[in-house]
Structure 1
């Protein structure tokens, strides 16, 4: 029997969509690279990373990331993906970053985010009038943008805007996008290929499941890490 992930047996599909994933210093690597790994396995997409320049940059885990493109030589982007980080304030205050992302988002078929990437997109104005989700501990920061409608879902799809909540929601986002573009059967096959059947050991991955003292401690930690977002 031919494995479900054997590309050689796949029926020829339409031209793959270009997914451009924005990288920036201090970002949370999993926000970007979890979706990248999933989407790169799908024939529906061509996935690449980009940043202001192609110089290596450090993520919040200290690992150096290598953007494939800079702002000056970007290919066409069909799906713009903006990941987050503990404090994306620097990106949110960078005029060049905002101008480039705004221009890309205005031309893209889909504008998407994971975690606090929603805050960066909100700053560009690309989320005005749209529902979006964000990491639960940053929901208050999203109130800085009254034209953006906060939705606390793990995954939110509003017209051509798709957002994933905190960090691991990037996996759900990527599988959903595959189903949206490549069809439900492709999304299901990818979920099986990746053996994506989470069984979290502590069952407190959502704030509604976690004890109040733990939620409060983590919220305080987030506010201390990203004070500018909560002022």
Structure 2
């Protein structure tokens, strides 16, 4: 493992993100020998997640080093970024040089808004998966989806599976398995209700009803981003 080539990984750290979308992959990537992991935002000021966890960026858009991998997490704050040209332009610029362009949860919608998923298969949180089609992507209901150099993870906890998949692709299954063992990532959830495929119809309906207004707001942002993508380039 000491002979692994160094790799530069950037995780977008934005206000009101879902912290596990970021910290799950961060834990995996930070354990990868030779990996340099950067938390990137517009400034170095503290950033607070949707549930109140405050984190510090380590690099800004302006001084971000060249990245081999860019990873975009999701969360409620993703909605405000769907027409934030500074953020979308940054993602587009980084993607021109990155080896892998990746996301977790609704971070895939941000990749889509930046025009980076047109013609690609991708996944997202189950509640917003269908919105990927509005951005030219092909939605796939899987925990991790790879299409060429795009790798996307589904909702929240899928970020750990996603990151282990990335490490396995880059360094082989043995390295990824060693990290998984270090983390004792061996989930045995107490309930079989973690996805629409396993949750009861009643539980799923309750979840859809409770988040309906929020998902509608997210869809409006996705529609605006889709309209921008449809405009001819100047």
1:7 aligned residue: none
Instruction: Check if 1:77 corresponds to 2:67.
Output: yes
* DSSP-derived class of the 1:31 partner: helix
Does 2:10 align with 1:12? no
| 2:40 paired with 1:59 | no
Gaps of 5+ in 2: 221-234
Give the gaps of 5 or more residues in structure 1. 1-9
Find the residue that maps to 1:225 and give its secondary structure.
helix
Would you say 1:140 and 2:130 are equivalent positions? yes
Partner of 1:99: 89
Aligned residues: 220
Please give the alpha-carbon distance, in whole angstroms, between the structure 2 residues aligned to 1:41 and 1:122.
29
CA contact (8 A) 1:86 1:226 kept: no
Contact 1:203 1:209 in 2 (8 A): yes
Encode CA deviations 1:131-178: one digit per residue, 9 max, x unaligned. 000010112322322x21111110001110001000000000111111
List aligned pairs for 1:1-231, cutoff 5 A: 10-14=1-5, 16-145=6-135, 147-231=136-220
Segments ≥4 residues shifted beyond 6 Å: none
> C-alpha displacement at 1:44, in angstroms?
4.3
Deviations 1:183-214, CA, capped at 9 Å, x for gaps: 11111111111111110101111211101121
Maintained 8 Å contact 2:14/2:77:
no
Note if contact 1:131-1:149 (Cα within 8 Å) is conserved in structure 2: yes
- Please report the TM-score for the alignment, with normalisation by the length of structure 2: 0.90
Task: Provide the TM-score with structure 1 as the length reference.
Answer: 0.91
